[in-house]
Amino acid sequence: MKMEFEVLTAPSYDIIVAGGGMTGVAAAVAAARNGKKTLLIERSGVLGGVATAGLCNILLGGRKYYPAMGKHKVRAAGGIFEELSQRLIDRGAAVDPDEINQYRNPHGWSHGCCADGLVFANDVMKVELDMLCREAGVEILFFTNVISLDCQKQTVRQVIVHNKSGITAIPAKFVIDCTGDADLAVMAGAPSVMGNNNDRRTAPVTVLMLVDHVEADQIFAYLEPDWQGRFRFRQIIRDLRDRGLWPWACEIFISMQNVESDCFLINTLRQTNIDGTDVRQLSTAMIDGRADSLKLLQLMRQYFPGFANARLRQISDTVGVRETRRIVGDFVLTVKDIGEERHFDDVIGFSGYAWDLPDPERPSHQPMEGKKLVDLIPIPYRVMVPQKVNNLLVAGRSISVQRDVLGPLRVMAPCMVMGQAAGTAAAIAIDKNCDSRSLPVSLLQDQLRAAGQVVDRPHTIGKGV
């Protein structure tokens, strides 16, 4: 039987942002604040992506700690990231990073890695993201998937979406891909890769959970001899494995204290050989991740200090995917570029994070550990520019970089930096009637500076404890 579908036509927008994670929110808000009629499309019913639906309630990479500077911290990300952070802190829904004891940090599993993250309350973050978009004038379409693009002469004319209302073609002047998987870029014909040299071997995925009724003091007492916690609970895991009680490949128990002192985020489980662009594999990962979370909690109650009375509060509603496709732009940022501290004229922001992209087969192993890494990693505008399409930018973890470079750039603060830059750039491109390659980057940088983004160098913002 032949099936026919009516394609509806919607009003046009200046800018359409696909993907309502932290990157997409920043892109849409920046576009709307620059006077553009903006639509944000999100497949679920909540903004924030992995940060909220995925329960990864810590924004990393926005600040950097410098012991040599008298315990000063410097800002790696400003703009919308800093604004959102302060809104949450003011509401008592986030832990101010300036108040964290760097040497006795309950909010991270490795000293100097997660210590400068912003820990936040999940549901309050959801509301703040809604309000941030509403205040800027962003229109949001929840429960909506982009299924195709209408491209003519390497230019996106319409974004085709599907939701409960049917199939709709939405005209747009500029499109920003914040899907994390380069979905729209691939639809538009832009080249992409997965893994190292396109071997499609990617970092493990994780289903996270929140537990409460945790005796935090017992955890801290256990960790006190080695508070840096780099190998947190590793010996317990070895003992359990020797007894046949630990069935997973991961070797480190990663837990982070949330805003409530008795509530901990558990980011321990690692599932390997999952293709984050394959819906069947993602479905299997979600089912297995939920079941494994209950198994892990049972072991935590029996063997891990502080968790004897732990109660499950929530399992994430989506799989935390660290890596899928990356676009191949005219420029690819490499490990060598970072190691040699290469200067870029088109920097639109920085990341203050570390090498962090687990090995595809050994989920607790960091291949780049110990390798030289500049304190603040510059993000050139060009990494967001795909080939073979003129009016589309890509922001977030699917940018044009060598695989290992994704480690410090894939976390949420630098992703929001890229989102804000992409939204601002799209507005400029419309105003100047130019494509993404001929965009005046100096003007983009000026507008980002005016919006409070860190473009030139970090600013000292206070002292650590």
- Tell me, yes or no, whether 412 and 457 share the same domain: yes
DSSP 214: -
139: CB partners within 8 A, 6+ apart:
13, 37, 38, 39, 40
User: Are residues 299 and 418 located together in one domain of the fold?
Assistant: no
Q: Does the residue 4 lie in any domain?
A: no
Phi and psi torsions of 238, nearest 5°: -60, -45
Q: What is the dihedral of CA 224, 229, 232, 235, to 10 degrees?
A: -70
Largest CA distance in the chain: 73
Domain co-membership, 47 together with 194: yes
Task: Check: CB of residue 58 under 8 Å from CB of residue 117.
Answer: yes
Residue 153 pLDDT more than 70?
yes
Residue 43: how many CB atoms within 10 A of its CB? 19
Asked which of 111-120, 157-166, 431-440, 449-458 is least confident by mean pLDDT, the reply is 111-120
Query: Mean of the pLDDT values across residues 265-270?
Result: 95
Residue with the bigger pLDDT between 6 and 39: it is 39
* Closest to 265 in 3D by CA, of 431, 126, 59: 59
Boundary residue ending a domain (274, 297, 315): 315
Tens digits of per-residue pLDDT, 281-320? 999 999 999 999 999 999 999 999 999 999 999 999 999 9
What does the pLDDT read at residue 97?
Answer: 80
Domain total in the chain: 2
The pLDDT assigned to 436 comes to: 97
Please tell me the predicted confidence (pLDDT) of residue 357: 93
pLDDT at 197 exceeding the cut of 50? yes
Question: In the predicted model, what is the mean pLDDT of residues 370-391?
Answer: 93
Could you tell me the two tokens for 219?
A: 């955890």
Question: Distance between alpha carbon 193 and the CA centroid of its chain, in Å?
Answer: 19
* Tens digit of each residue's pLDDT (9 = 90 or more) over 198-224: 999 999 999 999 999 999 999 888 877
Whether residues 421 and 278 share a domain: the answer is no
Of 258, 286, 315, the position where a domain reaches its end is 315
| 107 lies in some domain | yes
The C-alpha atoms of residue 15 and residue 12 are separated, in whole angstroms, by 9
Tokens 């991961």: give the residue: 250
* Residue 328, domain CATH: 3.50.50.60
Give the pLDDT confidence of 241-267 residue by residue, as tens digits.
999 999 999 998 988 899 999 999 999
Token look-up 């802190």 returns 89
pLDDT at 4 over 70: no
335 shares its domain with 400: yes
In a domain, residue 2? The reply is no
When pLDDT is cut at 50, 70 and 90, the band that residue 114 belongs to is: low
**47 and 145 fall within a common domain:** yes
Q: Does some domain include residue 34? A: yes
Tokens describing residue 366: 């960091």
Choose one of 293, 315, 337: the last residue of a domain: 315
Is residue 251 a part of any domain in this protein? yes
**Run of H or E including 435:** none
Average pLDDT, the chain: 91
**DSSP character at residue 10:** P
Local structure of 390: helix, strand or coil: coil
Identify whether residues 191 and 241 lie together within a single domain. no
Specify the DSSP class assigned to residue 282: H
Q: Same domain, yes or no, for 311 and 336?
A: no
Residue 277 is part of which domain span?
209-315
Same domain, 237 and 284: yes
86 in a structural domain:
yes
Q: Do 329 and 310 share a domain, yes or no?
A: no
Q: Are 120 and 189 contained in the same domain?
A: yes
Same domain, 352 and 237: no
Strands 166-177, 392-394: parallel, antiparallel or unpaired by DSSP?
parallel
pLDDT in tens, 332-350: 999 999 999 999 999 999 9
